[in-house]
Structure 1
Amino acid sequence: MLLVYPTLYVINIQYCLLVISASYYILGSKSGFRYAIAAILPLLTGILFNDFLKQSIPSTMINVNYTAYGITVLINFALILYIHHLFFKSLTKFKKRELLFKKNLEQAAANLREQAMAKTNFLNSMSHEIRTPLNAIVGMSNLLLSGSRSAEQDENLQILNFSAENLMATVNDIVDFSSLDNEKIQLHKKPFRLYQTIKNVFATFEEEATSKLLNFDLLIDEKLKNKLVIGDELRLSQILFHLIGNAIKFTKHGFVNVGVTCSEEPIDKTVIKFKIDDSGIGISEEMQQQLMDPFKKKLQRSQRQYQTTLGMTIASLLLKLHGSQLEINSRESKGSCFSFDIIYTATEMQEKSIPVSLFPLDANLSELRLLAVDDERLNLLVVKKILAKWGVVADEAVNGKVALEMCIKKDYDVVLMDINMPIMDGFEASRAIKDINKKDFTPPWIIALTASVGSSIEEVIQFPTIDDCILKPFRPEELRYKLSQLNDKMAN
């Protein structure tokens, strides 16, 4: 450039570079840009007039001191080099700090994940520890309720049983929320009868609604009667249990109505619209906003009077898994309306739906050969007392190893297997029992009777040598139903 434009001097170029560099580094991008333009504008003007317009600008000739000129050129070059050296040094230091910050951030994220996992494991462990004594409490209260008693004893036992089941529901809610918060729950899509599922959930609350003298109605689209839908029946039941149970709990008088309708749009899909109305105490706008983050709720003296529970939060999170959301229309003292949509793939039933009924409660189970396995003596006592009511005399084993030895010596139809046991746990014991090699041996039906929760219960359900699962504390009717099913199969 200096060869083409002889009117440009080295020192002018240096000054321009110094001004541009210094203005940007000192003043920043916007102010530095304006200052740099103003500084180099005279030089650009001179180039324009002298070289392009061929117009000379009057000036006075200056005698140059070449020694000073040379020193100035050297100093300017040194300044330019130093400024850019500092810039790239700072840039390198910034990149190192950025890498260090990123590494620290990743480490912090890993620590948070470990803390979240530790919290989940702690909740699961505590839940297991709480379930074990609760199993004995619920079991004994059910046994006492089934026997003869005075009116005062009956009232006390009802209170005991109700409190134990509510405590169990709270434990379940905490574990479910923890699993959802850590994204450990996934939907399992299988065909199921939506109509029958909704009817079953509704029937569960009829007695409670009747005892409170509430008008409890279900309006369900008849088009759903002959449809199978593909989805997660368990999670839908949980959503309905939480919302309907919550509505009945906070409605002292009036009504609770459940409505279910369907539409065939979009094509090949069925949109199921659910609506739960009640005349209860309602939810304030502030509490509605806090619904999705219960950890941010402020503790208030009147907090428990509002219609908000952890169950609603769980229902809302489960709906998010379905790609839906919970709509709330509520005012304090004016009742509430909860609504949501779920899209299912639906198919028509090929044959008439036959509702599944419970096996008769008077079925003879006395011929069943049963082994109860549990490391807690109290749990074994409760199970044996419940079974004795049905005429079943059960053997007992205090761990998996003892159970295996007993199954080698004697044939059993059913093994009620605890999972978390010393010496040999339920998984190892069930696998070993199924692999017993002796003449004319028929492997027993193994039912896991476990207090495991969260991801652990999923592992139990999917374990190949475990045939069925009941969660502690269990209802005697549930165990009797499963034993009746097995007894009926053996009879046929």
Structure 2
Amino acid sequence: MKQKYDFFNLSVWNILSQEQSMLDQARIKLLYYGLFLAFVALCAIAGNVFIQHQQIFTSMSIFLLVMVVAMFKYLTWKPDWKPISHILLTVALIINLIDVFLIIQKVEIITIQVIILSVLFSYYMLGQKWGLLYSLANVVPVLGFMVYAYGNSYIVAMKPEDVEESTKIITIMANFIMIIYIHSHFYNAFVKNIRELNQTTAEQSALNAAYQASMEKAEKSSQAKSEFLSTMSHEIRTPLNAVIGMSNLLQMNDPRADQLDNLEILKFSANNLLSIVNDVLDFNKIESGRVEFEKIRFNLVELMNSICGGQIIKAEEKGLKFYLDVDKRLRTKVIFGDPTRITQIIYNLVSNAIKFTSTGNVTVRVSQLGDRHNTLSVNFMVKDTGIGIEDEHLEAIFEPFTQESLTTTRQYGGTGLGLAIVKRLLELQNIQMHVTSKVGTGSEFSFNMEFPVSTEKVVEPVVESSPQAPEEKGSIYVASSTPSVGLQVLIAEDNPVNVMLMKKLFSKWNIVPTFADNGENAVELVQYGNFHIVLMDLQMPIMNGFDAAMEIRKMADPKKSNIPIIALTASALFDIKEQVYEAGMNDYVSKPFKPDELKEKIYALVEVV
């Protein structure tokens, strides 16, 4: 904010402000006290030359006195030190040259003093550029005069004036005082500036050290949080693995109708808890900046059918109509992108739509917006006829652990992380989510995404009947893919509940399991046994799964060192996949695992004899 100054102000402290730099304040003080000293000196000179009846010097003194008073008054009203400095230097230059070339017609000590004053004043007040300009403007003409006068008689149509000794003494004394004052003033200002700069540097260093310590503390806190979430995930997923696994086993034993209902409730609750754990872990992964987007080939139509396949069942269970409308032009397109992240985004949006819709329908529409030679622009839209969102809550729903209201949380449940994950994933790809909603009518979420397109054309798939038939090609139940003899599987697992689950599950798959309760025992069993595949838990006592896998890969017998190894883990560490492959394992399955997924991976790695 610009400060206003009173016209009648005479104090220098009223024209100084915190907005001015230390150097500018020093320049203003120099002008203030320098003009005051000049005023005193000119008064003495004017009185002396007046007494000596030297009219020219008297007129010049009075003119300079008026100029000094005017500039002093202007400075105390508006502290614009730059124009005042230029005026002072220009007047001093003109007066000095007039004295040398017309009035005195020679170079005296006063002339030299004025030049020195102009050089000092111009550099200190206006900087190097103007200092050099005013220095040359003062020095060059005077040197030129001296060189000319040295070999020639300097004659002009004006009689030179003599300066009385008393006037010389006063002038010389005043000039020396000004020279000493300028040096002293700016030396003090520079020393003070250096001290404060050193103090500021020390404070800045302390702040940087504190900032660095805070950053390290924040990094440690973030790492501790990740490790805590990983540990808690492992501890939660381990019993969940048993709950979900036993539920699956019980469902395979042809339970009664009432038992089946109870098992469905049990399995639903366990899956719901697993979903909450996964949401927290996914959000933590996104917030930590460890998300990498893949660029792999996939067919968007097939992906959307896969995503919405299970959601249709959920919608029908609530009595909702579910519509999936995918642009026909996309059926023959092969695009590059990250199908996992697209699945995560669409799944969360559709799950929310179904959750908050009690009657009506849910519509998922995928439309092609533009098709350039190598880029495809696609619009994704999820629309429902649910409870809707109030305008003032549209931003809040994308915040983590936040829903529209406390009533919504209590009535519909959930962590409030689904939309936060969606928003973060889109923002990381510079994509904007658009939301329109009306309370009691429904909501619509949409966004546009661009994909690189392959020139390869896909033949539209032919729909086959009886997709659940055991003989169908591509199913994990294909008869030709299952060995006629029992597979010998080594399972490294230290949790007794999981051991019990594996025994019951594998007995139904014609698999003969052997169990090791730690990594060291697993290595010994592989060394002296004969197995088709190893299922390796990662967190075990004595020797963990990573070290055990690496020891197996070092074995001399190539049949044993190359045995397929599948990691079984309940961990949620972000780089678990890379660690698994670096340890030499072939694949991994997260706990709680789906029985069909585990079986498919086992048979995919085992060579059928």
Q: Which interval holds the TM-score relative to the shorter structure?
A: 0.7 to 0.9
Quote how far apart the aligned CAs of 1:254 are: 0.6
Instruction: Structure 2: state its 5+ residue gaps.
Output: 1-23, 34-74, 104-163, 463-472
Alpha-carbon distance in 2 for matches of 1:266, 1:448: 43
Partner of 1:384: 503
Quote how far apart the aligned CAs of 1:100 are: 3.0
Does the residue aligned with 1:447 lie in a helix, a strand or coil? strand
Alpha-carbon distance in 2 for matches of 1:284, 1:463: 50
Q: Does 1:268 align with 2:374?
A: yes
Partner of 2:27: 20
Alpha-carbon distance in 1 for matches of 2:234, 2:77: 66
Aligned partner letter, 2:336:
I
Partner of 2:354: 248
* Count of aligned pairs: 468
Q: Is contact 1:460–1:469 with CA below 8 Å preserved after alignment?
A: no
Q: Does 1:182 align with 2:288?
A: yes
Structure 2 CA distance for partners of 1:224 and 1:45, relative to 1, 3 Å: same
Q: Is contact 2:320–2:360 with CA below 8 Å preserved after alignment?
A: yes
Q: Deviations over 1:72-100 (max 9, x none)?
A: 56567544432332233223322332333
Partner of 2:520: 401
Q: Deviations over 1:143-193 (max 9, x none)?
A: 222224344433322222111111111111111111110101101222122
Which of 359, 362, 365 is the matching residue for 2:476?
359
Partner of 2:442: 335
Q: Does 1:205 align with 2:311?
A: yes
Structure 2 CA distance for partners of 1:299 and 1:94, relative to 1, 3 Å: farther
* 1:186-335 equivalent positions in 2, closer than 5 A: 186-294=292-400, 300-304=406-410, 309-335=416-442
Q: Does 1:95 align with 2:95?
A: no
Q: Deviations over 1:188-231 (max 9, x none)?
A: 22212222111111112121111111110111122222222222
Alpha-carbon distance in 2 for matches of 1:296, 1:153: 37
Which of 31, 34, 52 is the matching residue for 2:80?
34
Partner of 2:240: 134
Pick which of 277-286 and 134-143 moved more.
277-286
Does the residue aligned with 2:557 lie in a helix, a strand or coil? coil
Alpha-carbon distance in 2 for matches of 1:414, 1:32: 89
Structure 2 CA distance for partners of 1:471 and 1:281, relative to 1, 3 Å: same
Q: Does 1:109 align with 2:215?
A: yes
Quote how far apart the aligned CAs of 1:321 are: 3.0
Aligned partner letter, 2:476:
F
Q: Does 1:158 align with 2:264?
A: yes
Quote how far apart the aligned CAs of 1:433 are: 2.6
Q: Deviations over 1:227-269 (max 9, x none)?
A: 2222212111111111111111111111111111224444311
Structure 2 CA distance for partners of 1:114 and 1:51, relative to 1, 3 Å: same
Q: Is contact 2:402–2:417 with CA below 8 Å preserved after alignment?
A: no
Q: Deviations over 1:394-447 (max 9, x none)?
A: 111111221121122222122211111222222222233344333865843222
Q: Is contact 1:24–1:33 with CA below 8 Å preserved after alignment?
A: no
Pick which of 77-86 and 436-445 moved more.
436-445
Alpha-carbon distance in 1 for matches of 2:559, 2:570: 34
Quote how far apart the aligned CAs of 1:37 are: 5.3
Q: Deviations over 1:367-398 (max 9, x none)?
A: 22112111211111112211112332311111
Which of 543, 547, 566 is the matching residue for 1:424?
543
Structure 2 CA distance for partners of 1:47 and 1:226, relative to 1, 3 Å: closer
Aligned partner letter, 1:426:
G
Structure 2 CA distance for partners of 1:481 and 1:51, relative to 1, 3 Å: same
Alpha-carbon distance in 1 for matches of 2:265, 2:277: 18
Does the residue aligned with 2:511 lie in a helix, a strand or coil? coil
Aligned partner letter, 2:477:
P
Pick which of 423-432 and 41-50 moved more.
41-50
Alpha-carbon distance in 2 for matches of 1:408, 1:384: 22
Aligned partner letter, 1:214:
L
Does the residue aligned with 2:394 lie in a helix, a strand or coil? helix
Q: Is contact 2:493–2:499 with CA below 8 Å preserved after alignment?
A: yes
Aligned partner letter, 1:347:
S
Partner of 2:133: none
Q: Deviations over 1:7-58 (max 9, x none)?
A: xxxxxxxxxx9973427999xx9987426756996786576578569999xx
Q: Does 1:344 align with 2:463?
A: no
Does the residue aligned with 2:364 lie in a helix, a strand or coil? strand
Aligned partner letter, 2:437:
S
Q: Is contact 1:287–1:308 with CA below 8 Å preserved after alignment?
A: no
Does the residue aligned with 1:104 lie in a helix, a strand or coil? helix
Greater gyration radius: 2
Alpha-carbon distance in 2 for matches of 1:25, 1:65: 21
Alpha-carbon distance in 2 for matches of 1:336, 1:442: 56
Aligned partner letter, 2:475:
L
Alpha-carbon distance in 2 for matches of 1:122, 1:308: 18
Quote how far apart the aligned CAs of 1:103 are: 3.4
Which of 469, 477, 492 is the matching residue for 1:373?
492
Which of 456, 469, 483 is the matching residue for 2:588?
469
Q: Is contact 1:262–1:273 with CA below 8 Å preserved after alignment?
A: yes
Does the residue aligned with 2:266 lie in a helix, a strand or coil? helix
Partner of 2:249: 143
- Higher relative contact order by CA 8 Å / sep ≥ 6: 1 or 2? 1
Partner of 2:576: 457
Question: Normalization by structure 2: what TM-score?
Answer: 0.68
Indicate the percent of aligned positions where both proteins have the same amino acid: 29
Q: Deviations over 1:116-146 (max 9, x none)?
A: 2221221122111111111111111222222
Instruction: Structure 1: state its 5+ residue gaps.
Output: 1-16
Does the residue aligned with 1:393 lie in a helix, a strand or coil? strand
Aligned partner letter, 2:200:
F
Does the residue aligned with 2:322 lie in a helix, a strand or coil? strand
Alpha-carbon distance in 2 for matches of 1:112, 1:143: 45
Alpha-carbon distance in 1 for matches of 2:32, 2:95: 31
Q: Is contact 1:373–1:416 with CA below 8 Å preserved after alignment?
A: yes
Question: Normalization by structure 1: what TM-score?
Answer: 0.83
Q: Is contact 2:534–2:563 with CA below 8 Å preserved after alignment?
A: yes
Q: Is contact 2:298–2:339 with CA below 8 Å preserved after alignment?
A: yes
Pick which of 415-424 and 478-487 moved more.
478-487
Aligned partner letter, 1:317:
R
Quote how far apart the aligned CAs of 1:102 are: 2.9
Q: Is contact 1:231–1:344 with CA below 8 Å preserved after alignment?
A: yes
* 1:46-125 equivalent positions in 2, closer than 5 A: 77-125=183-231
Does the residue aligned with 1:360 lie in a helix, a strand or coil? coil
Q: Does 1:482 align with 2:601?
A: yes
Does the residue aligned with 1:309 lie in a helix, a strand or coil? coil
Structure 2 CA distance for partners of 1:358 and 1:246, relative to 1, 3 Å: farther
